[in-house]
C-alpha cells in the first residue's frame, strides 16, 4: 500500500496515478491517539488499520496525483535519523575535495561506526510540493539522494536479523546540506532541508531494501545513480546501530546515506529522485530562502 499526505493534511492511498481520500481513517486514528505518544499515530496504527484503509480507498473516488499538493508522508516523526559516510564512493569524493582544500573540514572522513549517525530537525521535513527554501548563497548547498526507512514498531537494542520486523515501509528523501565546518545536525536542519516522498510504501512492496535502484537528476541531468547494495552499513545494520542508542518509534524516519555525485543546487533548480515503481519519484523545486539571492 502506498500512503501519501496531501493538500490540507489529507491522507490518501495511491493506486496507479490516482490518490484516494482516506482522511476519515486518519481523523479517527488521531482522535484516539494519546497526545503524549512518541511517534506518528497513523504509522503506529497501520497494523490494525491497514485492511480498513484499503477498503476505504477502494470506495473513495480517485483524483490524479499530479493535481494534489504532496506533503511529507509522515506527519509527526519522533526523530529523523541520518547515516553519514555510508557509501564508499561518496566518502572518496568528499576526501578528494578536502585534499583540494575546498572544505574547511577534518582531513579524514570517519567511518560511520566511529562517527555515529546524526539527527536532522523534524521541522526540516517537507513534501515535494513545499519546495526547498535554500539559505546561505555564499555556501555550497547540495542534494544528497537517499533511500528512507520508516520505522513501524517501537523497539530498542534490535538485532540486525530482526530489524525488518520494525520497518513499516520506505520512501525517498533528500538530505539537503549546506556545506561548512559546523556539526552536521546544524547545517542539515534548515527549514525544508529534509524532503520526503512522494509517498510511503509499506514494506511488503519492497522485496529487499538492500537492493533498491535510485537516480537523482537536477534539471534533467543525472547526478547520482546507485543502489542500496552499495551501503556500507545496510538497512538491517543501520537499525541495529541506531537502536543501541535510541528507542525507535513508529513513524521515525531514517535517511540511509548518500552515494557519490552530490552537487550544487541554486534557486530555480528542479530536483527529481526516481526509484523503483513502488517508491515512485520525488520531485521538488529549490527557491531562495533568504532575501537578495
Q: In whole angstroms, how close is the CB of 175 to Mn ion at the nearest point? A: 3
Considering beta carbons, is residue 21 or 144 the nearer one to Mn ion?
A: 144
Q: In whole angstroms, how close is the CB of 257 to Mn ion at the nearest point? A: 6
Give the x-and-dash track for 148-187 against Mn ion (CB under 5 A). ---------------------------x------------
Considering beta carbons, is residue 2 or 179 the nearer one to Mn ion?
A: 179
Sign of CA dihedral 62, 68, 73, 77: negative
User: Largest Cα–Cα distance in the chain?
Assistant: 59
Considering beta carbons, is residue 135 or 188 the nearer one to Mn ion?
A: 188
Q: In whole angstroms, how close is the CB of 97 to Mn ion at the nearest point? A: 15
CA 88 to CA 231: how far, in whole Å? Answer: 8
Buried b (16+ CB within 10 A) or exposed e, 271-286: bbbbbbebbbebbbeb
DSSP letters, 171-216, are: EEEE--EE-SSS-HHHHT-STT-EEEEEEEEEGGG-S-TTS-EEEE
Enumerate residues 6+ apart whose C-beta is below 8 A from 90. Answer: 257, 258, 259, 260, 262
Alpha helices in the chain (DSSP H): 23-32, 41-59, 88-99, 112-115, 184-187, 235-245
| 100 in Cβ contact with 246 (< 8 Å) | no
Considering beta carbons, is residue 249 or 254 the nearer one to Mn ion?
A: 254
Q: In whole angstroms, how close is the CB of 228 to Mn ion at the nearest point? A: 13
85 counts as binding Mn ion under rule CB under 5 A: no
Count residues contacting Mn ion (CB under 5 A)?
3
- Looking at 38-46, 112-120, 238-246, 254-262, which segment touches Mn ion (CB under 5 A)? 254-262
In the set 130, 142, 144, 240, which binds Mn ion (CB under 5 A)? 144
130 counts as binding Mn ion under rule CB under 5 A: no
Q: In whole angstroms, how close is the CB of 255 to Mn ion at the nearest point? A: 6
26 counts as binding Mn ion under rule CB under 5 A: no
Q: In whole angstroms, how close is the CB of 224 to Mn ion at the nearest point? A: 11
Q: Site residues (CB under 5 A) for Mn ion?
A: 144, 175, 258
Amino acid at each position: 500500500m502506498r500512503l501519501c499526505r496531501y493538500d490540507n493534511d489529507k491522507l490518501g492511498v495511491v493506486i496507479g496515478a490516482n490518490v484516494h481520500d482516506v482522511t476519515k481513517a486518519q481523523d479517527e486514528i488521531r482522535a484516539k491517539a494519546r497526545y503524549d505518544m512518541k511517534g506518528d499515530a497513523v504509522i503506529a496504527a497501520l497494523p490494525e488499520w491497514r485492511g480498513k484503509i484499503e477498503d476505504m480507498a477502494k470506495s473513495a473516488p480517485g483524483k490524479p496525483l499530479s493535481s494534489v499538493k504532496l506533503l511529507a508522508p509522515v506527519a509527526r516523526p519522533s526523530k529523523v535519523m541520518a547515516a553519514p559516510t555510508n557509501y564508499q564512493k561518496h566518502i572518496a569524493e568528499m576526501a578528494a575535495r578536502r585534499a583540494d582544500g575546498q572544505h574547511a573540514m577534518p582531513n579524514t572522513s570517519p567511518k560511520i561506526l566511529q562517527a555515529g549517525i546524526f539527527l536532522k530537525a523534524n521541522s526540516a521535513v517537507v513534501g515535494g510540493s513545499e519546495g526547498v527554501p535554500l539559505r546561505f548563497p555564499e555556501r555550497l548547498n547540495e542534494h544528497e539522494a537517499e533511500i528512507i526507512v520508516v520505522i513501524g514498531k517501537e523497539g530498542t537494542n534490535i538485532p540486525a536479523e530482526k530489524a525488518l520486523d520494525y520497518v513499516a515501509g520506505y520512501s525517498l528523501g533528500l538530505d539537503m546540506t549546506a556545506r561548512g565546518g559546523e556539526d552536521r545536525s546544524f547545517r542539515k536542519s534548515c527549514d525544508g532541508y529534509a524532503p520526503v516522498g512522494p509517498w510511503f510504501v509499506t514494506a511488503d512492496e519492497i522485496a529487499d531494501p538492500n537492493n533498491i535502484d535510485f537516480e537523482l537528476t537536477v534539471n534533467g541531468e543525472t547526478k547520482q545513480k546507485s543502489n542500496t547494495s552499495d551501503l556500507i552499513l545496510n538497512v538491517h545494520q543501520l537499525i541495529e546501530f541506531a537502536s543501541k542508542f535510541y528507542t525507535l518509534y513508529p513513524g521515525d524516519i531514517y535517511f540511509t546515506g548518500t552515494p557519490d555525485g552530490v552537487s550544487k543546487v541554486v534557486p530555480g533548480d528542479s530536483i527529481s529522485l526516481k526509484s523503483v515503481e513502488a517508491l515512485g519519484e520525488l520531485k521538488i523545486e529549490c527557491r531562495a530562502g533568504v532575501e537578495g539571492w
